Amino acid sequence: MSASDLSGPGSSGPTRAIVLHPDITSDRDRREAGAALAEAVALAAALPDIEVVGAERVRLPKAQPGLLFGTGKIEELKTRIKEAEAELILIDGPVSPVQQRNLEKEWGVKLLDRTGLILEIFADRARTREGVLQVELAALSYQRTRLVRAWTHLERQRGGLGFVGGPGETQIEADRRAIDEAVTRIRRQLAKVVKTRALHRAARKKVPYPVVALVGYTNAGKSTLFNRLTGAEVMAKDMLFATLDPTMRAVELPDGSEVIMSDTVGFISDLPTQLVAAFRATLEEVLDADLILHVRDVAHAETEEQAEDVAAILADLGVTQSTPMIEVWNKIDLLDEERRGELTVAAGRRDDVFAISAITGQGVDTLLAAVSERLAPPRFRAELDLAFFDGRKRAWLFDQGVVETERQTETGWHLSVFWTARQQKAFRSA
């Protein structure tokens, strides 16, 4: 996305934005305002060509139906917007179409709510054909009731949706039939892509490799851990939604077995329902996983709340208690020595929690050993007699670590082995 797309016509440089977090005191389920505002600022920073020139928590007894804020606060904010020369207001929360139109008229600037901002970020990050189509479908669902932006972005071959600016930004597009036609076209294209991916998944199931899915709140360090485990070079930055499209790689475990590791999109609180629906197909990798690694940023002040958000989204996707899960307490390198020691001891008391640092590698070997143990197929004992000329087979058995006892006979060796059905099959075909 270029600067000219984000800024208005004739302007240059990044779009100057102010982030507002409505702290509605009547909402009993509201998040801690300071942490919520910090996350909203981080979301804004995740979008290229946005310069955050102000951020403010706005206390409200309740949301006003037409303008969200009271008239006095609107005038106060209007003055602040002019002083900061802001061109964009980002509201950390839901804004109705009526509120959006009224506030844009009052302040003379563009406005995005939390859903619109996350959609814009996803559009900028999507790289695969499926990801692009899913974001466009979610965006159409979101914008259908608003009809205050042009739909020229559907023809563009670049990231971004055009909510912030771009061609035709002042044109009011009121033809819902055009939107519905676009939805039909995208769904048709998406169905083909999803069918192809389903065939790929079916082919993978024929290969006896279990799937391990990394899930977690955005910026918890999933991609950093994925890169360390797989040697891949997935984008990993201290940024919300640094990666979007799922990536899969083979990983060899300490016991010599292999698994397919899948890195998925990060979750976030109040994830737009349009995106949960649109990305359900992509996140089916999680549903099909043999083991889920829930990566948590334990250095974050709201790590418990983030874990609850992830659990809620997993439940919404249909992940049940039957799928084994390991909690990975990541970023212990960012904690002071006392706190790091406390968490390491606490994790050591449980067999489903491991404290690690994906950056330094601390605890990663122990985690991999646990993954091996969780995914280990059933083993059984067998007795084998090998002739002296079967030295290669004997060496293979020792290399696999399956030999329990061995004694030499007149014609060769008698061995007691403890192995899996897969190892037995490989031995017989060797």
Range picked from 168-177, 185-194, 289-298 for highest mean pLDDT: 289-298
For residue 272, the surrounding DSSP H or E stretch is none
| 381: Cβ contacts below 8 Å, ≥ 6 apart | 404, 416, 417, 418
Per-residue pLDDT band at 232 (split at 50, 70, 90): low
Does position 333 have pLDDT exceeding 50, yes or no? yes
Whose tokens are 């965006």? That residue is: 139
Query: Could you report the per-residue pLDDT of 260-304, keeping only the tens digit for each?
Result: 888 877 788 777 666 666 666 556 667 778 899 999 999 998 999
Q: Among 41-45, 179-183, 294-298, 405-409, whose mean pLDDT is lowest?
A: 179-183
Pair type for strands 258-263 and 211-216? parallel
| % the chain with pLDDT above 70 | 80
211 three-state secondary structure: strand
CA atoms within 13 A on the CB side of 243: 27
Q: What is the pLDDT of residue 211?
A: 86
Does position 371 have pLDDT exceeding 90, yes or no? yes
What is the rounded distance in angstroms from the CA atom of residue 191 to the CA atom of residue 343?
45
Does position 72 have pLDDT exceeding 90, yes or no? yes
Q: CA 311, 313, 319: angle at the middle one, nearest 5?
A: 75
What does the DSSP 8-state code read for residue 42?
Answer: H
Q: What is the pLDDT of residue 359?
A: 93
| % the chain with pLDDT above 90 | 40
Pair type for strands 325-330 and 353-355? parallel
Q: Among 355-364, 383-392, 415-424, whose mean pLDDT is lowest?
A: 415-424
Determine if residue 53 is left, alpha or beta; phi over 0 gives left, psi from -120 to 50 gives alpha, anything else beta: alpha
Query: Could you report the per-residue pLDDT of 385-394, keeping only the tens digit for each?
Result: 999 999 999 9
Q: What is the pLDDT of residue 404?
A: 95
Q: Which residue has the higher pLDDT, 170 or 134?
A: 134
Q: Which residue has the higher pLDDT, 122 or 232?
A: 122
Q: What mean pLDDT is predicted for residues 127-142?
A: 80
Whose tokens are 């002739």? That residue is: 387
Q: Which residue has the higher pLDDT, 370 or 121?
A: 370
Q: What is the pLDDT of residue 152?
A: 40
Does position 141 have pLDDT exceeding 90, yes or no? no
63 three-state secondary structure: coil
Query: pTM above 0.85?
Result: no
Residue 85 identity = E
Q: What is the pLDDT of residue 277?
A: 62
What is the rounded distance in angstroms from the CA atom of residue 114 to the CA atom of residue 272?
8
- The candidate with the shortest Cα–Cα distance to 220, out of 319, 108, 98, 305, is 305
Q: What is the pLDDT of residue 154?
A: 40
Per-residue pLDDT band at 240 (split at 50, 70, 90): low
Contact 74, 41 (CB under 8 A): no
For residue 420, the surrounding DSSP H or E stretch is strand 412-420
Quote the tokens at residue 231.
Answer: 């040697």
Does position 5 have pLDDT exceeding 60, yes or no? no
Distance (Å) of CA 296 to CA 121, 214, 227, 328, 347: 22, 10, 16, 6, 13
Mean predicted lDDT score pLDDT of the chain? 82
Q: Which residue has the higher pLDDT, 265 or 251?
A: 251
Instruction: Kindly tell me the sign of the dihedral angle through the C-alpha atoms of 304, 307, 313, 316.
Output: negative
For residue 383, the surrounding DSSP H or E stretch is strand 379-387
Quote the tokens at residue 187.
Answer: 């769904």
What is the rounded distance in angstroms from the CA atom of residue 369 to the CA atom of residue 33?
40
Q: What is the pLDDT of residue 246?
A: 61
What is the rounded distance in angstroms from the CA atom of residue 376 to the CA atom of residue 396?
19
Q: What is the pLDDT of residue 267?
A: 81
What is the rounded distance in angstroms from the CA atom of residue 14 to the CA atom of residue 44?
12
Q: What is the pLDDT of residue 111?
A: 94
Distance (Å) of CA 7 to CA 13, 52, 153, 205, 379: 7, 13, 15, 47, 63
Quote the tokens at residue 289.
Answer: 């996983």
